[in-house]
Structure 1
Amino acid sequence: MKMTLPAFYSPLLALATAGLLYVAGPTMRQPQPTKPMPERVALHGLVVDDDSNRLYLPDDLEATLWAEAPMFYNPTNMDIDARGRVWITEAVNYRKFNNKPEERLDHPEGERVVILEDTDQDGKADKSTVFVQDKELVSPLGIAVIGKKVIVSCAPNLVVYTDEDGDDHPDKKEILLTGFGGLDHDHSLHALAVGPDGKYYFNTGNAGPHIVTDKSGWTLRSGSLYVGGTPYNKINHGNQISDDGRVWVGGLALRINPDGTAMKVMGHNFRNNYETALDSYGNMWQNDNDDQVVACRTSWLMEGGNAGYFSSDGTRYWQADQRPGQDVPTAHWHQDDPGVIPAGDITGAGSPTGMVVYEGDELGPRYRGMLLSAEAGRNVIFGYKPEPVGAGYRLPRTDLISSFPTVDENYKWNDVDKDTRKWFRPSDVAVGTDGALYIADWYDPIVGGHQMKDGKGYGRIYRITPRGKKLKAPVINLKTTQGQIAALLNPAVNVRALGFEALKAQGDNVVEALLPLLSSDNPYHRARVVFLMANLGPEGEYEVTRLLRSEVPMLRIAAIRALRSASAGVSIRPGEELTRAEKALLPLLGNLADDPSPAVRREVAIALRDVPYADCRFMLKSLIKGYDGKDRWYLEALGQAADGKAEALFAELRPSLPEDPTQWDQRMANLIWRLHPASAVTLLQQRAASPALTADARRQAITALGFIKNVQAANAMVALAKSPDKEIADQATYWAGFRRGNDWATLINWEEAMPSKLSAAEQAMLAKRQILLDEYKSDTEKRRVALEMARNAEGGKVLVGLVADNKLPDNLKKAVAQAILKNPDQSVRTMAKEYFAENVEKVTDADKSSAGTLSVEQVAALTGDKTAGQSVFKTNCATCHRHGKQGNDIGPELTRIHQKFDKNGLLDAIIHPSAGLAFGYEPWLITTKAGQTYYGFLISDGTQSLIVKDAAGQKHTIPTSKVFSRKQYKTSLMPDPVSMGLNQQQLADLAAYLLKQ
């Protein structure tokens, strides 16, 4: 049987839709075709009118519609309480500033938290209760129900509602943490979950700044150059230093104690990681969205890892750092940079959302240990069975549940009225106390919240169970030891926390009752017991210490993590002494520094990050001996262990290395690339210049030099740029030109080392600019010069800069208006409309906005020709956009645009390009004190320089000391179709081409 999907249902959909490789080592793998689970069948149990609207899933599972609107609306996140009830956060009032409120469902009294319940245990919800409706909640993105506490993630606050009397309404509201950026923004504070160690783990996207002080007085300061998305996200910057002395940027994974103390950054530099899912071994898993390219990812997050979205200090987007020859996924996640962890599984285009690890046995053995990742853009729940490989993981992907029989990365969903299968928009996935899966679902034709299309806020929840088997929520009794153990072993993530805390309160008394569980058939049950026993006093700690010698590597890893978590102090500050418990742990770590498992050694390396060099030098050298020269995860763990100790470590390693650096083996070459100590500059320069080495080895040495922030490295690169070897000279020239705009900006005199020159056209127009500013020149001469400039591409830029800085008199502004609106440079014409259109007495059709002359509905009704559309794309779009192998990477990638938009949505974006600007593609106008004007995308915003990428794809580095003004615009750099001379049929053809399979 089949299930009809309703005509409308939706919440938050701003899910970010928004030549040479200079390093040896593994590159990011390209998007791979997904592998479907065998024998997927249609959703059973409900009659529908046709075969177009149904869910597909493995043949041993079945799905039912468990709840739908009006029981709740627009679900963003779910959690399950100890009674098996489903709690929902709603986002009905999302981005009201960007959407017409009269056309949408509205909750004027604020967003709601809703409890859904199946009171008669028939497999469907029959009761809905509003737990709270709060005007201070604006588009909350996360919920965790932990006993009496309900923790809601809603930037800027992590809010705790407490229901003291159990009447399903809060008696108390407290702010656990505050200061997170991203009010009414989906790149903000996401859901919290209790880890196997009893601590709280949560995450936030990159809509900073995040200036958050925990209850122990430790302050996180994290930001980047990213602003936008909402009117409230206006000020942000990178290179901020937290109380641990480190620079954390972008999206973050965080951990705190339940009382709000001891905040710790567990990973950083994400774009918008929607949810961090933990398994019972303490592994962190997450997905991340991309910049409207084809680089969404699902990753294992190594503790402390830099995931590589921004530059390491948060002052540059990936486009600014993209090296010649780098493909987009590699550049997008900085995969060729030392200090960045592997990206994981690149899923391509999409909009990843909620995640969970299924650890129960109720669905069957093949699902135990499966990582589930919701993908709203692709209408699918991805399933992963992570496979340990060296010090990291491989993530083979399957399409577990979807609204299509096969999830084709290139499937066509360009007719919203005829193909409603794409309306399956999973926002979250959770595990019930009965072991069933619950999937929250919403609707909107466009995956992206900048232009919401949904009006009714409809939503659904599906329940997935074993075929033919009835699952029943257990009654959990926390008053007995056995009931507490049952809670600890429950498949619902936050229900386990109740068992953990109750058993922890008993201390050593429960150790004997727990020991048999170390032999459980379910390995996740064993892991939970390990973490619990580390918190049960000396006897429990002793049992965990014994497990450091277990024959099972994952149990050794769990024991390390459990002991570290239990011994952690309340804060990490530079120079702060280790706690007594942390010092006691060092000998145990030392015993594992030569463990046969690289994953165990990885954990030892991670644990040494804040340990003084004198206390870990022998361990570091043992860990280095275990490096095979290939494992990037292991290499990054070594880099973390050497954080702040690289110079001392290299000094100790140097005597054991060949005197001639060209004789280093690959292991040592990779290690020095990762550490890039300042004392290695001369040695790296020798390797880069040596014809005896391979091209890859020389490129690796040049890259390492590029990451050393001192005068010697800058001078070495300048010298290499003069190499007679063209390949080496080209690489070094790139790095010198790149670094002069950031890390090396003030280290040497760049005008002497590598002088920059203005083109003849630029010089000529700047000279004419001086005439316009000369008070002694006649109005007649100024008018003649201004008209000449208005008809010239470079001159037009200068005029736009003058008027933007209020330096062009009104009479000249009116005199040049008609001419500049016909400037040969499209970007000049686009910007000129901001300032000159009002001075044109009679605006021609070519100067009008397309909004009044083209209709989305009329164009959508036309039949498009794909072949003709390809020609339209090549002539009008390929200058800035890439589609397949055609075009340029200046504007958003369009190869898989059909996975972001339906036909109407795509046409709307083309006809009204400024209505919903994608993240990172907001145009900026920068003028210099010398009169130069730059217009394009701001891809770097540092203290030393700005980098603007213009409409031709050129990157312009502008020293901040030379900047006169800067302004962000809401007008797209992309011209509207009427100004390009495109008619309705050409747009229909273009849409057919872009939406083709």
Structure 2
Amino acid sequence: MNFMKVNNFRPALICIVLACARAGLAGASADGRFITANGLAIKPFATQGQLSNPASIDVDDRGRVWVAEALNYRKNVRATGDRILILEDTNGDGRADHSKVFYQHPDINGVHGVCVLGNKAIVSAPDRILILTDTNGDDRADKKQLLFKGKVMKGPLGQHDHAVHAVMFGPDGRLYFNFGNYNAGLWHADGSPVKDVFGIPVDNRRRPYQEGMVIRCELDGSRVEVLGHNFRNNWEVTVDSFGTMWQSDNDNGSSSCRVNFVMEYGNYGYRDEKTGADYHTRRTNLEATMQRRMWHQNDPGVVPDLLITGAGAPTGILVYEGTLLPKPFRGQLIHAEPGRNVVWAFPVQSSGAGYKARIVDVARSQVDRNYRPCDVSVAPDGSLIIADWFDPVDCCHRTLNDAGRIFRVAPPNHSYTVRAYNYKTAEGAAAALRSPNLSARYRAWTTLLGMQDRATAALKALATHENPRFRARTLWALAAQKNGAPGAIEQAMADGSADIRGLALRLARRHQLPVEPIAQKLARDASASVRRECAVSLHRLTSAEAVAIWVTLAEQHDGNDRWYLEALGIGERGKESACLAAWLKQTGAQWKTRAGRDIVWRSRAPEAAALLAELLLDPKVAGAEHPRLLRALDFHPAKVREAAVLAVLNGDAKPHPATYLEAFRRATPAMLKAHPAIQQQAETVLLASKGTVTFVDLVARFNRRDLSSHLIEMAIAHPGQVPGIRALHQIYAFKESARIVAALKEPRNTLPLIKSLGSIGNPQSVALLRTVATDNAQPAPVRLQAIASLSQSVVGANTLVQLVQQKKMPNEFHEPALRSLTLSPNPNTRMFADEQLRLLAPGAKRWPLDKLLAAKPDASRGKAAFQKAACITCHKVNGEGLDFGPDLSAIGTKLDAKQLFNAIQQPSQTITLGYEGVSLKLKDDTELVGFLANQNQESLTLRIPGNLRRVVPLANIQTRRALKFSLMPAGLDAALTPRELVDLVGWLQTLRPGKK
């Protein structure tokens, strides 16, 4: 059915429209399904039946919409492969009436991006970038070239979209693209690894790059640069006319999706820079909010986020540089957010050396749940073209609907007309260079570049245009002419726009001209953003001039601008010690000011570690700043870090006890052995931390087996909680399990210890629990807790199944045992429990899906069902619960009732990326199941149910395998009545951003 013919305008929607009008939005679309910004209308360009699953679009200079169809993503339903379509409006009515298949082949299955450049289309599939060329003008690809190859890790459901994404042509004549954190790196067509211009391999092995990256290269794939790294799933990067890069990044279900200004060569903080640890890992100076913690925003060396957009599935993005849309959208970011059924604009303003932004709706639907805008592009007339994944499920994770739609957003009554440019003349090409359409600008660029001197007059006329974006494009083109760069740079330096003065430095770097003379002239520019570009341009330059310029820039840091500080850190790279020494010489005794402490905190010069220690011992430095300073030590080499720690521990002026304890955590056994006085002092601090995870860490670090009795006390005092469980783990690591057996003999200790033993999962702990569960002398509550604890580990659940099968427990314990097993991490035991529970209650059948959907939920009772089914032991909702599985605070925007019922009953059909399970069997026969948090050369960290973290030495692992099933137990509805399940789903549907 054509949705545009369905009249769905209801009285309730009138209230929505009125509310949106007050927020600066206009009324609904003709059929009442869409709400657009004031002065805009949304109309269909192509509808269902004309295309399928559009993952990416581009619009060529003739106004034709090129569509990358990802029909085969995780499904492989079209044997001939995914395809690139060309949709065309041939009669000028604003709707596509003609289509062609430009390319179709299985080698682009799960296609992520299409970029149209003249007679070429650059197509990004998950693990490759292809250049497809139409050599004879028939709109069919005749030639195929592999530009880059990736290596994408496969999840349990197959393809990953955290892979290679769309390519964009930049104003400097280069290609820009990105890839997500499931792509291992880049390789050339011949299989050789790609190295960047500094000789560094472009891979995710922390050398130094890791996770998602932003890439720039020449049109032929040469001179590769990594412009930013440590993103999660940065879906698309966009570049404005000044050469400034912007993109969004997807979180892992923690309501922390973000938008980034990509400061070149920056680290963006998805994982710990040094260890690769994820945001769950405990660290000093931990961020107060999840949105900052997710991206390590308190760590030195992490570029700040521009904007947190919350829950969602951010995808396509662009900078709108046309004039057709109303003024508030001109020069601003426009972004597709399928998870929230909206296209947003992010009006950006300069703020110091960085920016600030807010969110404005462009086109939203609050009634059409199939509206999943996943990409945006600008047509030659300035219209905004939107690709709609058109599915009740978020784009690119799972699809239920193979259709797709394309929309056009423009002022009401605007006809879709395309201006024809005369690319044969310099004036015509210069006019095309002003187009809001990237394909037109590409053709203009290549034409003007080919004309060289014959284009100079037309370009110089445009270079003084009142629009700074036009001036910027022209200066890029002038600089690309033979011997044209110096003149373009001089003009840019004298421009009244800070964006263009900053462009002078980008022009010099683009054409490999000396940067120092330009940076020296601009180093005291009134604009912090220009000085930021000066700092970034010094990256890896080692001349004395570069050091002197860096000092000039550092002197101007005011202590309040993190963007500026991170730019200084980027500019320091390659000359860290020289920069710090020159700055200290210049600053003298004033280096301890707020701004000076910032410089020391961010510096990676080894000499900075001693200065951090000096600050920690300075009584004039507030204790509240100590965690920040201590965290900075973690980014220095071990030798200087340990010397700084020793200085803090051994100093005459003793710091605050909390600071001393944190410093002690960084001490080594060898350090204590060499300095007995420190060991004596530390004993008091160590004992003062009893009852905390820090105490357990220190006991383990310094092999304090003599403190095992305190660990037993912790396990009793914190039953089933992280400190208690960690304490028991350490007891077993010390091979002191006899202490647990002895403690269990004391009745008051039995229940607390049993609660914690369930999370241990080794054969010894399981044997203890089995003994208690089958001991008729034990009280019923103790035996029931032992049964519940057995179900929490793989080995324990297998043991519990045996007890049920062999009828080793009284009948009244069988049903509680089976219900506990429905929450087991082992899918086989969950299946066994589900089957047995059905037998216990013949006739108590589950409702079929159609009956569940037809029932009216009582959402007010849904939260109780959520707690009854133990969902809260793995999921957070509005800050309540455990952060083990995905945060469900906004699940109501992502899945409808049907998908929620399926997700509860068959969770393995859809596994959220980043939540793929891993199973480990250790050499002591312990079996662990959980999520991989991080791994280094010595160990890995597994997040296990209960949101616990288990560090496992690699040498202790017998086998390791990726799980093809979800760790969320299937058939959780067995713990609920059908009515409770309906209420649960009704309540989950109410969970949306901003609603508590």
Question: Which of residues 48, 51, 59 in structure 2 aligns to 1:72?
Answer: 51
Q: Which moved more, 1:754-763 or 1:273-282?
A: 754-763
The answer as to whether partners of 2:325 and 2:410 remain within 8 angstroms in 1 is: yes
Task: Tell me which residue corresponds to 1:871.
Answer: 864
Q: Alpha carbons of 1:431 and 1:812: their partners in 2 closer, same or farther (altered >3 Å)?
A: same
Pair 1:212-2:193 in alignment: no
Question: Which of residues 6, 24, 38 in structure 2 aligns to 1:38?
Answer: 24
Q: Alpha carbons of 1:953 and 1:836: their partners in 2 closer, same or farther (altered >3 Å)?
A: closer
Task: Tell me which residue corresponds to 1:611.
Answer: 541
Task: Tell me which residue corresponds to 1:548.
Answer: 493
Task: Tell me which residue corresponds to 2:967.
Answer: 973
Q: In structure 2, what residue type is equivalent to 1:255?
A: R
Q: How does 1:399-414 map to 2 (within 5 A)?
A: 399-404=361-366
Q: Alpha carbons of 1:800 and 1:995: their partners in 2 closer, same or farther (altered >3 Å)?
A: closer
Structure showing the higher helix proportion among its residues:
2
* Residue correspondences, number: 891
Q: In structure 1, what residue type is equivalent to 2:702?
A: E
Task: Tell me which residue corresponds to 2:369.
Answer: 422
Q: Alpha carbons of 1:70 and 1:848: their partners in 2 closer, same or farther (altered >3 Å)?
A: farther
Q: How does 1:133-148 map to 2 (within 5 A)?
A: 133-148=104-119
Question: Which of residues 329, 333, 355 in structure 1 aligns to 2:317?
Answer: 355
Pair 1:902-2:873 in alignment: no
Residue 823 of structure 1 and its aligned partner are, at CA, apart by 9.1
Q: Which moved more, 1:260-269 or 1:756-765?
A: 756-765
Task: Tell me which residue corresponds to 1:639.
Answer: 569
Report the secondary structure of 1:428's partner residue. Answer: strand
CA deviations over 1:676-697 (Å, ceiling 9, x no partner): 4332334323433444422332
Task: Tell me which residue corresponds to 2:297.
Answer: 335
Q: How does 1:723-802 map to 2 (within 5 A)?
A: 725-729=656-660, 731-732=662-663, 750-752=701-703, 792=786, 796=790, 800=794
Q: Distance in 2 between matches of 1:340 and 1:283?
A: 18
Pair 1:436-2:383 in alignment: yes
The answer as to whether partners of 1:948 and 1:956 remain within 8 angstroms in 2 is: yes
Report the secondary structure of 1:464's partner residue. Answer: strand
The answer as to whether partners of 1:390 and 1:598 remain within 8 angstroms in 2 is: yes
Pair 1:194-2:188 in alignment: no
Q: In structure 2, what residue type is equivalent to 1:672?
A: V
Residue 90 of structure 1 and its aligned partner are, at CA, apart by 0.3
Q: Distance in 1 between matches of 2:768 and 2:308?
A: 59
The answer as to whether partners of 1:299 and 1:343 remain within 8 angstroms in 2 is: yes
Task: Tell me which residue corresponds to 2:637.
Answer: 709
Q: Distance in 2 between matches of 1:241 and 1:368?
A: 35
Task: Tell me which residue corresponds to 2:214.
Answer: 253
Pair 1:671-2:599 in alignment: yes
Residue 476 of structure 1 and its aligned partner are, at CA, apart by 2.1
Q: Alpha carbons of 1:822 and 1:957: their partners in 2 closer, same or farther (altered >3 Å)?
A: farther
Report the secondary structure of 1:957's partner residue. Answer: strand
Pair 1:56-2:25 in alignment: no
Which structure carries more relative contact order (alpha carbon 8 Å, separation 6+)? 1
Question: Which of residues 240, 245, 248 in structure 2 aligns to 1:279?
Answer: 240
Question: Which of residues 900, 919, 923 in structure 2 aligns to 1:925?
Answer: 919
Residue 796 of structure 1 and its aligned partner are, at CA, apart by 4.3
Residue 605 of structure 1 and its aligned partner are, at CA, apart by 1.0
Task: Tell me which residue corresponds to 1:122.
Answer: 93
Question: Which of residues 426, 439, 453 in structure 2 aligns to 1:508?
Answer: 453
Q: CA RMSD for the aligned pairs?
A: 4.3
The answer as to whether partners of 1:507 and 1:537 remain within 8 angstroms in 2 is: yes
Q: Distance in 2 between matches of 1:164 and 1:817?
A: 77
TM-score (norm 1): 0.80
Task: Tell me which residue corresponds to 1:29.
Answer: none
Task: Tell me which residue corresponds to 2:60.
Answer: 81
Q: Distance in 2 between matches of 1:717 and 1:707?
A: 13
The answer as to whether partners of 2:37 and 2:361 remain within 8 angstroms in 1 is: no
The answer as to whether partners of 1:685 and 1:716 remain within 8 angstroms in 2 is: yes
Q: Distance in 2 between matches of 1:716 and 1:145?
A: 55
Q: Alpha carbons of 1:712 and 1:856: their partners in 2 closer, same or farther (altered >3 Å)?
A: farther
Pair 1:697-2:625 in alignment: yes
Q: How does 1:199-598 map to 2 (within 5 A)?
A: 199-213=174-188, 219-220=194-195, 246-312=207-273, 315-320=276-281, 326-404=288-366, 420-447=367-394, 449-454=396-401, 457-539=402-484, 541-567=486-512, 581=513, 584-598=514-528
Residue 975 of structure 1 and its aligned partner are, at CA, apart by 3.3
Q: Alpha carbons of 1:95 and 1:5: their partners in 2 closer, same or farther (altered >3 Å)?
A: farther
Task: Tell me which residue corresponds to 2:135.
Answer: 164
Q: Distance in 2 between matches of 1:733 and 1:5?
A: 70
Q: Distance in 1 between matches of 2:835 and 2:528?
A: 73
Residue 649 of structure 1 and its aligned partner are, at CA, apart by 2.2
Give % identity: 30
Q: Distance in 2 between matches of 1:866 and 1:715?
A: 59
Task: Tell me which residue corresponds to 1:843.
Answer: 836
Unaligned runs of 5+ in 2: 8-18, 672-696, 716-727, 742-763, 776-782
Q: Distance in 2 between matches of 1:840 and 1:888?
A: 24
Q: Distance in 1 between matches of 2:833 and 2:412?
A: 70
TM-score (norm 2): 0.81
Q: Distance in 1 between matches of 2:276 and 2:205?
A: 20
Q: Distance in 1 between matches of 2:825 and 2:559?
A: 55
Q: How does 1:952-971 map to 2 (within 5 A)?
A: 952-971=946-965
Q: Alpha carbons of 1:547 and 1:922: their partners in 2 closer, same or farther (altered >3 Å)?
A: closer
Residue 812 of structure 1 and its aligned partner are, at CA, apart by 10
Residue 279 of structure 1 and its aligned partner are, at CA, apart by 0.8
Report the secondary structure of 2:887's partner residue. Answer: coil
The answer as to whether partners of 1:792 and 1:823 remain within 8 angstroms in 2 is: no
Report the secondary structure of 1:179's partner residue. Answer: strand
Q: Distance in 1 between matches of 2:265 and 2:841?
A: 52
Task: Tell me which residue corresponds to 1:26.
Answer: none
Task: Tell me which residue corresponds to 1:411.
Answer: none
The answer as to whether partners of 1:317 and 1:940 remain within 8 angstroms in 2 is: yes
Q: Distance in 1 between matches of 2:238 and 2:796?
A: 52
Q: Alpha carbons of 1:849 and 1:510: their partners in 2 closer, same or farther (altered >3 Å)?
A: farther
Q: Distance in 1 between matches of 2:981 and 2:445?
A: 60
Q: Distance in 2 between matches of 1:278 and 1:868?
A: 49
Q: Alpha carbons of 1:821 and 1:472: their partners in 2 closer, same or farther (altered >3 Å)?
A: farther
The answer as to whether partners of 1:218 and 1:243 remain within 8 angstroms in 2 is: no
Q: Alpha carbons of 1:241 and 1:279: their partners in 2 closer, same or farther (altered >3 Å)?
A: closer
Residue 314 of structure 1 and its aligned partner are, at CA, apart by 7.2
Residue 159 of structure 1 and its aligned partner are, at CA, apart by 0.7
Residue 393 of structure 1 and its aligned partner are, at CA, apart by 1.0
Task: Tell me which residue corresponds to 1:683.
Answer: 611
Q: Alpha carbons of 1:837 and 1:402: their partners in 2 closer, same or farther (altered >3 Å)?
A: closer
CA deviations over 1:111-148 (Å, ceiling 9, x no partner): 11111111122222211111121122201111111111
Q: Distance in 2 between matches of 1:167 and 1:327?
A: 55
Q: In structure 2, what residue type is equivalent to 1:622?
A: T
Task: Tell me which residue corresponds to 1:880.
Answer: 874
The answer as to whether partners of 1:676 and 1:704 remain within 8 angstroms in 2 is: no
The answer as to whether partners of 1:180 and 1:209 remain within 8 angstroms in 2 is: yes
The answer as to whether partners of 1:854 and 1:911 remain within 8 angstroms in 2 is: no
The answer as to whether partners of 1:796 and 1:823 remain within 8 angstroms in 2 is: no
Report the secondary structure of 1:421's partner residue. Answer: coil
Q: Distance in 1 between matches of 2:633 and 2:840?
A: 50
Q: Distance in 2 between matches of 1:133 and 1:935?
A: 41
Q: Distance in 1 between matches of 2:847 and 2:175?
A: 52
Residue 470 of structure 1 and its aligned partner are, at CA, apart by 3.0
Q: Distance in 1 between matches of 2:452 and 2:458?
A: 12
Unaligned runs of 5+ in 1: 8-32, 98-105, 223-238, 405-419, 568-580, 741-745, 772-776
Q: Distance in 1 between matches of 2:234 and 2:805?
A: 49
Q: Which moved more, 1:853-862 or 1:901-910?
A: 853-862
Q: Alpha carbons of 1:609 and 1:633: their partners in 2 closer, same or farther (altered >3 Å)?
A: same
